[in-house]
Amino acid sequence: MRSFKGIFMLIIANLLVFLTLVISGNIIINFILPAFGIDMRGAFASYQFAWAMVFGFGGAFISLWMSKPMAKRMYKMQQVINPATEKERLVYNTVAELAQRAGIKMPEVWVYWDDAPNAFATGPSRNNSMVAVSSGLAMALSDSELKSVLAHEMGHVSNGDMVATTLLQGLMNTFVYFLASMIARLVASAGSRDGEMNYMLYFIVDMVLQILFSILAMIVVMWHSRRREFKADAYAAKAYGADNMIRALQKIEYLAHQSAPLEEEEQSVLAPKDALATLKIHGKSSGLMHLFASHPSTEARIAALKAMGER
């Protein structure tokens, strides 16, 4: 039932995003830019690139803006405002302490009921964010380990990872839309005897190229994602020590392999991936699969933490 609800919400959200972008794109291209002396209405390439930017960055930033409400709908969550248990107090006070150190506004603190050990941070900005912890993670880790995991998530917030990823995703989307459309138009026009564009051929080529270019763009985005994980681990190590973060990673990996993970299809429907900084555990990725991994392997992360301790 939760997956069907997620699919319905995703369809409605995408329709609203599409409608918003079409209206805003037309206003920008036809009214706002000409008012500043920038007229893209007659040049196809410029017009197409402007549309690609509207859809590329618009979709990415709307996803970022919706990241908090979407995350809250993923699980049965409860916001921690007045901590009632020892674990809640530990989570709340640790986030408050790290926020004060970083000089940012206190993120919202949420707990959700899930046996899988996990935590994530999301939000449209450093001063408008949330940190969520699963019950499985809170109960499985020691206090020092849990504080390190929270520091990892606060590292994402403090480093502005959600915004940085959104900008990169928007840039990649822009080039995917633009290049696919331009090449498809050339192919569709060249394949026509009377010089008129074959719109069916254009549509087919455009869709195929968007898929291919999106795969290539994903490699760049995932590379950035792996880099930010190392930085978040380093942030946690500086806050509470590398050894605590190493023990947390080892324990989470062990627990993750003991519990049945959420189905991949359901995750793809429910999770706002672009703006969600999640503590995922991955084993070694072989061959080309490494290029599409959003997180480094646990071994690589532990090796990097040990190297920090040796400096």
CA distances from 144 to 136, 246, 255 (A): 16, 11, 17
Examine the residue annotation and report whether 153 is marked as an active-site residue of this protein: yes
| Amino acid in position 241 | G
Provide the residue count of the chain: 311
H, E, C per residue of 27-66: HHHHHHHHHCCCCCCCCHHHHHHHHHHHHHHHHHHHHHHC
Let me know: does 166 contact 63? Beta carbons within 8 Å: yes
Task: Find where tokens 């380990």 sit.
Answer: 145
Q: Write the CB contacts of 261 (distance below 8 Å, at least 6 apart in sequence).
A: 116
Q: How far apart are the first and last CA of the chain?
A: 51
DSSP-H helix ranges across the chain: 2-27, 33-35, 44-65, 67-74, 86-102, 135-140, 143-158, 161-190, 199-240, 242-258, 264-270, 298-310
CA dist., res. 193 & res. 152, Å (int): 60
CA dist., res. 173 & res. 218, Å (int): 10
Candidate list 88, 145, 153, 229, residue with the active-site label: 153
Active site residues: 153
